[in-house]
Structure 1
């Protein structure tokens, strides 16, 4: 399942230019309405304010997201605010000096100080506005990611439900039971009880995101009994788990789905037994089987493994590991430990 890429943070260029030109016009109006109107001063005010606004817009639009990504801090009053103010003061000083020397025949008086104050106000206004826009953008990204995660989890649970009530498995189980009854097999009653146990486990665990590994192994035991009745010595399952690993957690029916996947793609017979080995290794639960692929194999969609992977990403933010050789197929599931705070 492919995840959508995050939408980058952008501010409309039209907004940047219109607001900057508007500020330039507003700051030049006092010069225009003066009794002794000097066109050069009004134009200089307009150019300085517009250029300063444009540069501050682009500076803060780049630096605020970069600073937040780097530090993880989202406070309004931060080191980036003071850096921006210093840059703004220096920038306004440079523009004012350029204006002063370009129009040295005019007497500007205390205008440079006024420009600096104006620059601080513009800088603070833009900083607060861009900071608000960026925080809104981040919140929208979080909401979208949560919605994608929930959608992926629901899709995985739906696929899991479809596989749990696999009509082929039920059909094969009933056929095995029919044969046992017809041959008056003494294990027929035990088979019925295990089949009932398996579907009771299925119905009881559908709404759970996680369950202890020891409970998952109980499901596997019931499932294995049914498979042994069908394949006899053509199917072998070995388990090696210590007490500590049994107290970890796992998404319901993960092991059953992996076993079913092994049977789906490999030959299972008395001449070529399918051997599955389950054990823990370096914070992973390992499921390994010998590869003896069917000559006419069912088409693999990889949905089963992908859905298991999506569930692990959703629940533990860790991916499963898949390793293939000519002789073995291995799936490693990250162990999920109990969080005392949740």
Structure 2
């Protein structure tokens, strides 16, 4: 079962489960109800004459009206945020919020006006009371929509700014690492050609050098592309596996099931090879206990699964490979990378992307 990342919450343990959640959500609930109670109390105290009615009765009725209007509109706002998230959907979300809030207010004002009239002002005609109440409620709808959208827009802007700053830092680190590891490509290719001449007719050595040249050529050509066709990535993985076969032989078994339509979709370059490399790096490998790697596509998801053979001595690693893959996907798509560690297998699910 996939590991779930817990969401930090500042909610006290004695609160009902429905009120526990992210701190911003909890604060909104507290502020909303405190404002509802405060407004109700203000209206009751501000008007001195309530035609001899008990103030608790007036307070209860006003509380019902304000709570119904505010909570109903808040639920509409949160629903639209889930369906149309982000600041890029602000105009559509605001227009829908206003339209749905007006419709909600018009409908709920019928029973609320009838209840208020029959309880507080039985001698008042229904329709004048309805239109007067509706006008006040519509003013509240405009105010509430402006307030909620302003807070949400600022929150989204701040989140996007922080995310952009994080991507900029990651990009700077990646460029620095690339500069540290950079080798003149002409020098390397000339060296490989010279080495091929030295090995002569040694066919295994010639195949090894051919795969090594293909691997380095792919790294050079793909570094400036956000995504590449899966078919190109799998050709690169095949060359990489040819290199590892010299070291591991039959101790590494790879099974690939990819339909032609999956090969036409895209992935960020080097991600599949990195998952294969991680499997080789973090598992004990022997012919008695071979490492099995399965690469298959299911719908628009590429699944890379390897058997787990725990090492007695762990190799030194920065453990940044998976985090880098997740960060690269976050930069180009909203679809998440699935990481599923099990007792005997480790599986990573990569979203397959359409061609840019």
Would you say same fold, with TM above 0.5?
yes
Confirm or deny that 1:65 pairs with 2:74: yes
Between Structure 1 and Structure 2, how many residues are aligned?
309
Q: Which residue of structure 1 lines up, in the alignment, with residue 184 of structure 2?
A: none
Partner of 2:277: 260
1:218 to 235, 240, 252: 235
Q: Which moved more, 1:237-246 or 1:205-214?
A: 237-246
Q: CA deviation at 1:291?
A: 3.6
Q: 1:83 aligns with which of 96, 104, 107?
A: 104
The reply to whether residue 320 of structure 1 matches residue 338 of structure 2 is yes
Pick aligned residue for 1:139 from 138, 153, 160? 153
Which residue is 1:287 aligned to? 304
Note closer, same or farther for the CA distance 1:263–1:245 as it changes in structure 2 (3 Å cut).
same
Shift of 1:125: 1.0
What SS does the corresponding residue of 2:315 show, helix, strand or coil?
Answer: coil
Give CA deviations for 1:250-293 in whole Å, capped at 9, x if unaligned.
Answer: 12211111111111112345676545343335554343444433
What's the TM-score once normalised by structure 2's chain length? Answer: 0.62
After TM superposition, the structure 1 stretch with the greater mean CA deviation from structure 2, 142-151 or 283-292, is 142-151
Structure 1 residues 241 and 92: alpha-carbon distance in aligned structure 2, compared to 1, 3 A threshold:
closer
Describe the shift of the 1:88–1:51 C-alpha distance in structure 2 as closer, same or farther (beyond 3 A): farther
Between the aligned partners of 1:76 and 1:288, the Cα distance in structure 2 is 45
> Residue 98 of structure 2 contacts residue 141 of structure 2 at CA under 8 Å; is this kept in 1?
no
- Higher mean C-alpha deviation, range 157-166 or range 218-227: 157-166
Q: 1:148 to 1:288 in 2, by over 3 A?
A: same
Task: Give 5+ residue unaligned stretches, structure 2.
Answer: 9-21, 84-92, 182-187
Tell whether 2:207 aligns with 1:198.
no
Please tell me whether the aligned partners of residues 335 and 351 of structure 2 are also in contact (alpha carbons under 8 angstroms).
Answer: no
Rg larger in 1 or in 2?
1
Question: Which of 120, 126, 129 pairs up with 2:143?
Answer: 129
Q: Secondary structure at the match of 2:24?
A: coil
- The 3 A distance-change label for structure 1 pair 331 and 260 is same
Gaps (5+ residues) in structure 1?
A: 29-38, 102-108, 168-173
Structure 1 distance, partners of 2:207, 2:229, is: 25
CA contact (8 A) 2:98 2:145 kept: no
Task: State the SS of the aligned residue for 2:240.
Answer: helix
- 1:1-342 matched pairs, under 5 angstroms: 5=22, 7-8=24-25, 9-10=28-29, 11=31, 16=36, 28=47, 40=49, 54-70=63-79, 72=83, 74=94, 75-88=96-109, 90-100=111-121, 116-140=130-154, 142-143=156-157, 146=160, 185-186=199-200, 194-195=211-212, 197-231=214-248, 234-235=251-252, 237-268=254-285, 274-281=291-298, 283-298=300-315, 303-309=320-326, 311-312=328-329, 315=333, 317-320=335-338, 322=340, 324=342, 326=344, 328-338=345-355
How far has the Cα of 1:163 moved from its partner? 9.1
Deviation string 1:161-193 (CA, Å, 9 cap, x unpaired) is: 8998998xxxxxx9xx99x97xx6447677566
Residues 300 and 272 of structure 1, relative CA distance in 2, 3 Å threshold: same
Offset at 1:146? 4.6
Superposed CA deviations along residues 4-52 of structure 1, whole A, max 9, x for unmatched, are 74832454566556655666677x5xxxxxxxxxx746887x9999776
How far 1:91 sits from its partner (Å)?
A: 3.3
Confirm or deny: 8 A CA contact 1:159 1:307 kept in the other structure: no
Distance change (3 Å), C-alpha of 1:241 and 1:25: closer
